[in-house]
Amino acid sequence: MNCHCTREQITDTLATGHAELTGELTGHVQSCAECRALYAQQAELFHAMDSGLSAMVNEPTPASLLPRVRGRMEETRTSNPWFYRFLPAAAVLVIACVIALPLVRRSLRSGGVQVTVIPKPSENGAEPRPPLAGGPEESMVSPATRALSPHLSARPPAARRPEQTIEVAVLVSSEESQGLLQLAAAVPRSPQWAQAMLHPVELPPSQMEPMKPIEIANLEVQPLSEEKQ
Amino acid sequence: MQELVLVQPGQSIEGTRARELERSGAHAEFEARLAECGPLAFRIAQGVLRNAADAEDVAQEALLKAFRSFHRLRDPRRFRAWLVRITFRMALDRSRSAKRREQRETEWSMPQRRPLPPTAEDLAASSEFQARLERAVEELPEKLRLVLLLSALQGYALEEVSALLGIPTGTVKSRLFFARKQLAEKLR
């Protein structure tokens, strides 16, 4: 056993709380003066450490401690303010408000246009035509534009608030009603669709389909009655 | 004479009485433990703070905190371990806030540190070593520090420390070993 190992083992042995060395270690310490001196020094250090620690924690307890604690205990028992009982409930309420507030704000922000699709009566006139909410200009706006733009809704602007759900009645043919409903439901989830649909796309002439001129049979052109006179 | 009982709205007299009895029972039980656990709380606080007045304050606060929550303690046998943890944590908090305050005051006023009055050489050497020891203990990790302080308490063997902390005796031994080794390295 060399001196380096011995020194480490001396520290380890003393750190476990054993003051006496054993076996091979004792033999080396007895034969090596340097290690013997180190052992004596380390043993003294650990002894001083133990004494110091013991002095730190084993001071006599002040006689005033227990009477003070008893007095405070009695105070606590007798003066239990009524509002302490409501503290947990109040804390829960505050936490619930803190959690709910962002949710409420988010739901208010996400309130957009709610579209009610009224199927247009078929050509044979089987279904009665429901009254429009917004007057004659209602039918002049395309359904998609109306669904996306709150400015084109039927209600007067003064009655509308910006963060409110706006109800719009749109008159469409019965074949288109299902598709329009799906579109109205999908648009609030994808704002980029709404933006794309509000801005017309300018197609190059090569991609535009040619349109035939309108042909109207039996068209008779007459001058206006005022111009006649 | 008719007995009048103050009852809160929505509560029955029986319920209030039962709660009162339960509380007074818990109070009596706590009172029985106070004489034994009060000194323990003080010693732990003293081990961390090394100031009798501060340690007394912390022990008092810890005991009161334990008293207020005593009726909620599921296993009364774990009371001492619980109190030890409360006291240790509160003493650490107090020690940290005192250090911060001291640092602030030093930054503001920059006082000259006065050396301790010279006394006998042995006493000076002893107090210097004690100060180094206290600093070294302060630098130990919390787990090692608590085990070291509890093991240094008179009358607490390793098994009792193990029972107090709710950890195996082997763990206590290894923590104590590393704590003493680190302390010796710092003091060398």
SS3 A169: strand
Q: How are beta strands A113-120 and A166-173 bridged, if at all? A: parallel
B64: closest CA of chain A, how far (Å): 7
Amino acid in position B110: M
Residue B46 confidence (pLDDT) above 70: yes
For an interface test with A, the pick among B42, B86, B175 (most A C-beta atoms closer than 10 Å) comes out as B42
Closest Cβ–Cβ partner in A17, A42, A68 for B60: A68
For an interface test with B, the pick among A18, A54, A61 (most B C-beta atoms closer than 10 Å) comes out as A61
Q: Does B183 touch chain A (CB under 8 A)?
A: yes
Distance, in Å, from the CA atom of A150 to the CA atom of A198, rounded to the nearest integer, reads 12
Fill in the DSSP letter of residue A152.
G
- In whole angstroms, how far apart are CA A120 and each of A61, A137, A141? 93, 16, 15
Round the average pLDDT of chain A to a whole number and report it: 73
Q: What is the mean pLDDT of residues B130-144?
A: 91
A73, B67: Cβ pair inside 8 Å? Answer: yes
Structure tokens at A52: 């110091």
Minimal-distance CA residue of chain A relative to B128: A52
A19: closest CA of chain B, how far (Å): 13
Burial per residue of B23-45, b for 16 or more beta-carbon CB atoms within 10 angstroms, e otherwise: eeebbeebeebbeebbbbbbbbb
**Which residue would you say has higher pLDDT here, B18 or A87?**
A87
Structure tokens at A29: 């310490």
Residue A52 confidence (pLDDT) above 80: yes
Residue with tokens 């044979």: A124
Q: Which residues of A touch B60 (CB under 8 A)?
A: 65, 68-69, 72
Q: Which of A185-194, B6-15, B76-85 is the least confident region?
A: B6-15
**Which residue would you say has higher pLDDT here, B114 or A221?**
A221
Distance, in Å, from the CA atom of A196 to the CA atom of A209, rounded to the nearest integer, reads 21
H or E element in which residue A114 lies: strand A113-120
**Which residue would you say has higher pLDDT here, A32 or A161?**
A32
Q: Which residues of B touch A87 (CB under 8 A)?
A: none
Structure tokens at A42: 């380390």
Give which of B41, B23, B52 is closest to B85, Cα–Cα: B41
Q: Which of A2-11, B20-29, B30-39 is the least confident region?
A: B20-29
A49, B59: Cβ pair inside 8 Å? Answer: no
Q: Which residues of A touch B56 (CB under 8 A)?
A: 62, 64-65, 68
Q: What is the mean pLDDT of residues B129-147?
A: 91
Most confident stretch, A22-26, A109-113, A140-144, B158-162: B158-162
Q: Does B46 touch chain A (CB under 8 A)?
A: yes
Structure tokens at B92: 């650490």
Report the pLDDT value the prediction gives residue B177, as an integer from 0 to 100: 94
Q: What is the mean pLDDT of residues B23-31?
A: 73
User: pLDDT tens for residues A167-191?
Assistant: 677 777 777 888 888 888 887 777 7
> How confident is residue B33, by pLDDT bands cut at 50, 70 and 90?
confident
Tell me if A223 sits within 8 A of A187, measured CB to CB: no
User: pLDDT tens for residues A98-153?
Assistant: 999 888 887 776 655 555 656 655 555 444 444 444 444 444 444 554 554 444 44
Give which of A77, A49, A52, A64 is closest to B55, Cα–Cα: A64
DSSP character string of A171-226: EEEHHHHHHHHHHHHHGGG-HHHHHHHHSPP---GGGSPP-PPP--TT------HH
Residue A74 confidence (pLDDT) above 60: yes
DSSP alpha helix (H) spans, A81-127: 82-109
> How confident is residue B72, by pLDDT bands cut at 50, 70 and 90?
confident
**Which residue would you say has higher pLDDT here, B156 or B125?**
B156
Q: Which of A104-113, A171-180, A200-209, B8-17 is the least confident region?
A: B8-17
Minimal-distance CA residue of chain A relative to B173: A16
Which residues 6+ apart lie within 8 Å of B121 measured at CB? none
Q: Which residues of B touch A50 (CB under 8 A)?
A: 152
Q: Does B58 touch chain A (CB under 8 A)?
A: no
Minimal-distance CA residue of chain A relative to B176: A16
Tell me if A97 sits within 8 A of A132, measured CB to CB: no
Distance, in Å, from the CA atom of B61 to the CA atom of B69, rounded to the nearest integer, reads 12
Which residues 6+ apart lie within 8 Å of B130 measured at CB? A52, A55
Residue B87 confidence (pLDDT) above 90: yes
B152, A50: Cβ pair inside 8 Å? Answer: yes
pTM of the model: 0.53
**Which residue would you say has higher pLDDT here, A159 or A172?**
A172
Distance, in Å, from the CA atom of A81 to the CA atom of B14, rounded to the nearest integer, reads 22
Q: What is the mean pLDDT of residues A89-93?
A: 91
Residues composing chain A: 229
Tell me if A150 sits within 8 A of A113, measured CB to CB: yes
Q: Does B84 touch chain A (CB under 8 A)?
A: no
Residue A62 confidence (pLDDT) above 80: yes
A222 Cα distance to chain centroid: 69
ipTM above 0.85, yes or no: no
> How confident is residue B140, by pLDDT bands cut at 50, 70 and 90?
very high
Q: What is the mean pLDDT of residues A146-171?
A: 54
